[in-house]
Amino acid sequence: MSFSSPASLLEVELEPDRPPVLHVDPPEDAPRWAAEHREGLRARVAEHGALLIRGLGVREPASAGAVFAGLAGGLMTEREAFAPRQRYSPGLYASTTWPANQPMCMHHELSYALEVPGLMLFACLTAPAEGGATAVADAERVLQALPAAVAERFEREGWMLTRSYNDEIGASLEESFGTADHAAVERFCRANAIEFTWQPDGSLHTRQRRGAVVRHPVSGRRCWFNQIAFLNQWTLAPEVREYLVDVYGEDGLPFNTRYGDGSPIGEDVVQLLNATYEEHTRREPWQAGDVLLVDNIRTAHSREAFTGERQVVVAMAEPQRLPESRPAGEGSRR
């Protein structure tokens, strides 16, 4: 049975400050509709980098999971999470736990991993009262807009993510690695080019260097692909940063980013990165039942601050191993 659909049935609205939006009449069977139109919908994502589908009426985690399966097939299990999130079923998660009054700035999901999702799928089950959009930004245009000296240094050196796992903040060992067994964690780190050190108190400190600029595996476009700004200490709210530095010290922050050579990234550079993202941000307020598809390599996404109840589920699919993301050295025990 063919799941192709005529392009004329999937005409999208294109406006400069919004992601492409496709309005559909509420189908009786949303998962079946998604599967039948998979080819055409995925073509729109390939064309535009993201697609918001409005009208599917997805209101429950189970129906969202079924729609996602129809659109993408197998879903990925998250590893190396930086914050806890609820899992509804294999590959289907609640959005990351993060304070509602603090935005999550632009990033590419799991860009610090060696295996990254090529496709992100979101569904809004309950829309917030205000704010809370999952905004998007074209990574190719962001790269082109960055000052040459900044982009060239990160492309030359890559970037480094440092993490300190503790029982008070951020994802635990089990939430991030799928196990709390030290030997299993070490095997994962060695297999994924992550340097690790066990601290005297039994906590884990890791470092991993990754590429900041990659080529899209299909189009070949050069994309700014990382979480340099999002996971840097200077993106945190000032009061949160001051508290964490006071309690853990700069070297013990739950997560932070550096240049690939290990030197610190200045606040001015982080502000520049976030400002460049903002110049290229497209946003559309969530409506209950919306589904958003995002090419995770070509398109960054964010979560804006919000008020009221917001329930968004997320899934990752189409794992990719990008040659440019792998560092020259391998992870090792120190």
Residue 311 is predicted with a pLDDT of 97
pLDDT at 329 over 90: no
Count of positions (residues) in the chain: 334
**Interval 316-334 mean pLDDT:** 70
What's the rounded Cα separation, in Å, for the pair 188 and 198?
14
What percent of the chain has a predicted confidence (pLDDT) above 70? 95
**Interval 168-187 mean pLDDT:** 92
Residue 170 is predicted with a pLDDT of 81
Question: What residues pair up with 333 in beta bridges, in sequence order?
Answer: 196
The answer to whether the CB of 24 falls within 8 A of the CB of 289 is no
**From the candidate CATH numbers 3.60.130.10, 3.30.70.100, 3.90.280.10, 3.30.465.10, the one assigned to the domain spanning 141-275:** 3.60.130.10
**Interval 6-16 mean pLDDT:** 75
| Average pLDDT score over the chain | 92
**Interval 110-120 mean pLDDT:** 97
Residue 117 is predicted with a pLDDT of 98
What does the domain layout of the chain look like in residue ranges?
141-275
pLDDT at 333 over 50: no
What's the rounded Cα separation, in Å, for the pair 53 and 22?
5
Categorize the per-residue pLDDT at 332 as very low, low, confident or very high, splitting at 50, 70 and 90. Answer: very low
Residue 324 is predicted with a pLDDT of 83
Write the pLDDT tens digit of every residue in 235-244. 998 998 999 9
Categorize the per-residue pLDDT at 259 as very low, low, confident or very high, splitting at 50, 70 and 90. Answer: very high
Write the pLDDT tens digit of every residue in 38-91. 999 999 999 999 999 999 999 999 999 999 999 998 999 999 998 889 999 999
Categorize the per-residue pLDDT at 1 as very low, low, confident or very high, splitting at 50, 70 and 90. Answer: very low
Residue 73 is predicted with a pLDDT of 84
Helices (H), 79-181: 139-145, 148-157, 173-177
Query: Kind and range of the H or E element at 208?
Result: strand 204-210
pLDDT at 33 over 80: yes
pLDDT at 153 over 70: yes
Write the pLDDT tens digit of every residue in 193-225. 999 999 998 899 999 999 999 999 999 999 999
Residue 308 — left, alpha, or beta (φ > 0 → left; ψ -120 to 50 → alpha)? left
| pTM, to two decimals | 0.93
Helices (H), 163-206: 173-177, 182-191
Residue 6 is predicted with a pLDDT of 44
Residue 327 is predicted with a pLDDT of 53
